[in-house]
Structure 1
C-alpha cells in the first residue's frame, strides 16, 4: 500500500512563541503584510495579544506607555490591548453634530460667574445671591434648580474672592470667600439652603496669608480640595502653593505646601 507523504511546512518546525518574537521586530505594516499572505502566520497573529498590541498602537499613532499601575502591579498585554480598543471605540459613540442652545432664565452680565462641570451648567450672581443650575442637553438628568440663598451663607457683605461650588449628585452647595485675612467655606443643601445633613459642621475657617493671589476649590465625594497661591513676603522665594483637603463629612483636614 502506497502512502502519500505530504511535506510539512517550515512554520511547523518553529514554536509559536518564537514566531511571535520574530514578528515583534517588524513594523505594523510588515506584520499585516506577512499575516495576510500566510494562513499559518495569520493564525499566530490572531492568537497573539503582543502582535495585535503592536498593530493597534501603530494604527492609533501612539507609543508604548507604562506597563504597570501606581502600585507597580504589571498590566498584561491583553488588558492594555483591550484598553486601547475600548478608547478607540468610545469615539464612535460620540455625536459631534448634536447641539442645542441653552438660554438661562436670568440675564447674563459681568457680575455673574459660570462654571461647567460634567452634566450641569452653573450660573451664580453673587450680588443677588442667585444660583441657577441647569442640566446639559442630552444628559440623563433634567433637573433645574434656581434659588436665592440665605444670607447665612455669606454673612459678611464686604467679603472678597467669593467663589461657589455645586455638586447636584450630593445635593451640596458650598461658597468660599475671604474676609479679614481668613477664608471661610460654608456648606448648604441645594434643595433648601439648610445645613447639609451629612456635613460634620456648617463651615471651615482657614487663616489666609496676607498676599493671597488665587484660590480655587473642587469637590471629590466627601472631600473638598482647596488650592491657594500666595506670597508670605515680597521675595520670589516667598511664593507658596498650598493644597488643603477637607473631609467635610468628618471634619478632618490635610495640608500640603510647596515653596518656590
Structure 2
C-alpha cells in the first residue's frame, strides 16, 4: 500500500478514476489518503453519485464533467423535493389512442394523424419540440407504440375484412418505412376472433405484441425481430381453460415475463423467447424458465385481470440527438403488477412492486427450466404488496419509470387542500438511495422524503387465504399540486423528466406537463 501511495498523484488519480463505484466505496475505507483522493476527484464523485441515483452516464453528452456533476446534483435535489421547473397544459385529442415513452407524448387526431410532443427538461438540456405525421398506406390506425432512441414508430392498422392485422414499421420522424426494418417494413398476423385490443412493447430490435381477445377466442403473444421480420415467439392462451394471459413485459435481452391470471394462485411466468417453438403454442404447454406464484386467493374469489408494467425497456437508451448528460439506468427496473379480483359484487385492486433484481436472483439460483417458487420463497422480502391507491388507472398506465411509481393521492391529511388541487405521491424503490438516506439519518434534508422500512401487512381475509407481509424498503414523497380547479386530475403518469397529470372528464380533457 505504501508503495502505491508513492506513485505520482496524477498517475494515482488516473488509476483510481478507472475503478467502478463499488470498488471506489471500498477504497474510501482503506486509508485517509485514498478517501481524500476519491473525495477530491470529480470522476469518482460522479461515478458514485450516478450509481446511487440509478442513472448512467450519457455517452453522447458534450458537457464537461464538472457541469454533468452539477446537473446530476440539481436533478436529484429536484426529484427528491418534487420541485419541477416548468408547468404547461396540452389539450387531449380525441383520436382514441396515445402513448408516453422516451420523453415523447404522442396522440392521435382522428384515425390517420399522429401528433408528437418532445417533452423538455431544463436540467438535462432537452428542448421542447412538436411534429405531426400522416402515415401513408394505412386505412386507419388501430394502435401504436414508439421507441425514440431507434426512431421507430410501430403502427397497428385496423383489421382487414379477412381479420388480418398489418403492423407497419415506420420512422418516428418522417413516417416513412424504417430503414433498418425488414423488407417490406410490415408484419402481419391473422388471429382467430373478430375484435382485439393490443399491448405493445419494444426492446431494441425485438417487438412484442399481445393480441387481447374481447370474445371467447385466444389471446396471443407474439415476439418478432422487427429488423429481420422473424417471428421468435408465437404463443396463445385459450381463456376458456380457466386461466388467461393478463399482460407481459420484456425482462432482459432474452426473456419476457407474462402475468398469468389463474386460480387460486396467479403467477408471473418467465419465458425465453429466443428458444421458443416456431409453432403457435398454448402457453400452458410452453416451457417456462421460472414461475413466481403470487399469494393464494380464497376459494370463492375470482381473479379478473392482471397488468405487468415496467418502463423503460431492457435495451433502453436515449436518442443520441438529445446528447443528455445522464439517463435512467438499465441495471435495475421496477415491475408494477396490478391484480384485480372479485369477491361477491366487490372488485379489489392489489399492487405488487417487484425490482428486476429480485426476479433475476431467482432465475440465477436454479438456472434450469421449470423452476417454480411459491410466494413465501421469493415474495415477502423481495417485493412490496399493498392495496392500490384511489385513482390507480387501467387506462393511464404509464405510472412507472425506472425504479419509481407515481399515483394520485387522497388521504385525510389532505382534506384542507383547496378546491381543484390534488396530491401526487411517488414511491421510489431504489435500494441504494434508501440505504444512503438511512445511513445519513433523519436529520438529512428533513421533510423531503420519508423512508419506509417497516413491513406492510395485508389482512384481507375476504380475498386472501393468508395475511400477506412484505418488507422491501422504499422512499416516498407526497406533494400538493395547486392547479386550476378545471384541472382536478384523475390520473398521473411518469416519465424520465416529467410528471403528467391527466384530466379526462367530459368538460375538460387535458394533460398538464410538470417538467424537471
TM range (shorter): 0.5 to 0.7
Matched, 1:182 2:168: no
Q: Distance in 2 between matches of 1:162 and 1:215?
A: 9
SS of 2:83 mapped into structure 1 = coil
Report the TM-score when normalising by structure 2.
Answer: 0.29
| Cross-structure match for 2:88 | 102
| Cross-structure match for 1:26 | none
Note closer, same or farther for the CA distance 1:191–1:217 as it changes in structure 2 (3 Å cut): same
Contact 2:94 2:110 in 1 (8 A): no
Q: Distance in 2 between matches of 1:218 and 1:183?
A: 17
Q: Distance in 1 between matches of 2:222 and 2:193?
A: 17
Residue deviations 1:38-66, cap 9 Å, x none? xxxxxxxx99xxxxxxxxxxxxxxxxxxx
| Cross-structure match for 1:54 | none
Matched, 1:168 2:153: no
Note closer, same or farther for the CA distance 1:194–1:213 as it changes in structure 2 (3 Å cut): closer
Counterpart pick for 2:182 among 200, 203, 223: 200
Larger helix fraction of residues: 1
The structural deviation recorded for 1:108 is: 3.0
Residue deviations 1:189-218, cap 9 Å, x none? 123222211111210010032243421212
SS of 1:175 mapped into structure 2 = strand
Note closer, same or farther for the CA distance 1:246–1:168 as it changes in structure 2 (3 Å cut): same
Residue deviations 1:214-256, cap 9 Å, x none? 21212111111101122674xxxx5x33211011101111212
| Cross-structure match for 1:218 | 201
| Cross-structure match for 2:109 | 125
Note closer, same or farther for the CA distance 1:140–1:228 as it changes in structure 2 (3 Å cut): farther
Note closer, same or farther for the CA distance 1:243–1:140 as it changes in structure 2 (3 Å cut): farther
Contact 1:172 1:188 in 2 (8 A): yes
Counterpart pick for 1:113 among 94, 97, 101: 97
Q: Distance in 2 between matches of 1:112 and 1:133?
A: 17
RMSD: 3.2
Where does the alignment leave 5 or more consecutive residues of structure 2 unmatched?
Answer: 1-28, 31-47, 55-72, 240-516
Residue deviations 1:10-35, cap 9 Å, x none? xxxxxxxxxxxxxxxxxxxxxxxxxx
| Cross-structure match for 1:135 | 119
Contact 2:205 2:225 in 1 (8 A): yes
Residue deviations 1:94-144, cap 9 Å, x none? 34122532344xx53333533222422222224351322322434543362
Q: Distance in 2 between matches of 1:187 and 1:145?
A: 21
Residue-pair matches, total: 167
Report the TM-score when normalising by structure 1.
Answer: 0.54
Note closer, same or farther for the CA distance 1:143–1:208 as it changes in structure 2 (3 Å cut): farther
Note closer, same or farther for the CA distance 1:141–1:255 as it changes in structure 2 (3 Å cut): farther
Contact 1:212 1:228 in 2 (8 A): no
Larger strand fraction of residues: 2
Note closer, same or farther for the CA distance 1:109–1:120 as it changes in structure 2 (3 Å cut): closer
Whichever of the two has the greater Rg, that structure is 1
Matched, 1:244 2:227: no
